[in-house]
Structure 1
Amino acid sequence: MSAYEFPDGLIEIQRDYEKANAHVEKLVAALPSALDIMTGKPKTTDKQNDELQKAREARLQAQEKRDQHPWLLGVDDQYAARMQLWKAARSSE
């Protein structure tokens, strides 16, 4: 049980951030390693770079939406609140 009562929508905002972050991680995992690139093996394509840039932008927007939420800005211990929000978002999926 959380020590916080989250306002409507904040848990969904956290879930949106988690989805955006997972998408970035998936795209990064599909890229060739730095060693492969240095040794002349497969390089990243423009399409991969564009897709990753867009995914990172979407993740940043989701993070800003969460971090700038008035409720979160108003709590005394933002770190503890974020940790509880993270747990609440994962436990209620």
Structure 2
Amino acid sequence: MSDDITGGPDADADETHGTDEIDGVSIELSNDEALVLFEWLAHRDEAGDLPLEDAAEQRVLSDIHAGLEIALEDALSPEYAELLAAARKNVRDAPQ
């Protein structure tokens, strides 16, 4: 059975498949949020200053960073700095 982002059971999950299906959690981010998170993960990785208790934590963060790099066209843009600045402003100024 998989969980949605709220932590509740997924009503469409089929428990009869057991190990045939991969359990997972999905988080939906806007492009701006994804770009800000991508940059933060890159900066933390370069600085090496994020306290981790286990190597599994580093692996998960690295996997998320790699997935964002694949999903984000802006990550390889020549205008990356400007796009990042705009994304940060949009996220910072967005209503909660």
TM, length-normalised to structure 1:
0.38
Greater fraction of residues in helix:
1
Higher RCO (CA-CA < 8 Å; seq separation 6+): 1
TM, length-normalised to structure 2:
0.37
